[in-house]
Amino acid sequence: MTGEINFARDVLDSAEIFIRYEGYLKKNAEQIARAKKYEDKLLSEDIDYSKIEGLRLEAREKLNKIKPRSLGQASRISGVNPADIAVLTVWLSLKK
């Protein structure tokens, strides 16, 4: 017995794929966690987005029209970009 362990080819392939894409998988898991956090941050229906400094005009218009219930919903609106979500996040933290 030489101490050598033989693995099935599919096990070796799976391990290689996991190692190769580990960074992408970690980044994806972080994005999922961030998205969940955004879903938990609720937005009041009476927010006047036109008065929030730092939001782009298009984002203000879309947010006022759609009135999202959470940051997660706001982040999925066409015309609302990550910078707008960051502004909303800071604005919400200042309101508390």
Domains and CATH numbers, the chain: 9-95 (1.10.150.570)
Neighbours of 6 (CB within 10 A): 7
pLDDT in tens, 36-53: 988 989 999 999 999 999
With cut-offs at 50, 70 and 90, classify the pLDDT of residue 6: confident
pLDDT beyond 70 at 1: no
Instruction: Name which of 71, 67, 68, 66 is nearest 35 in CA terms.
Output: 71
With cut-offs at 50, 70 and 90, classify the pLDDT of residue 35: confident
Q: What pTM was computed for the model?
A: 0.68
Residue 3: predicted pLDDT: 63
Name every residue whose Cβ is closer than 8 Å to that of residue 72 and which is 6 or more positions away in sequence: 35, 36, 38, 39, 41
Instruction: Name which of 75, 77, 84 is nearest 57 in CA terms.
Output: 84
Per the structure block, which two tokens stand in for 93?
């933290």
Give the whole-angstrom CA distance, residue 68 versus residue 88: 12
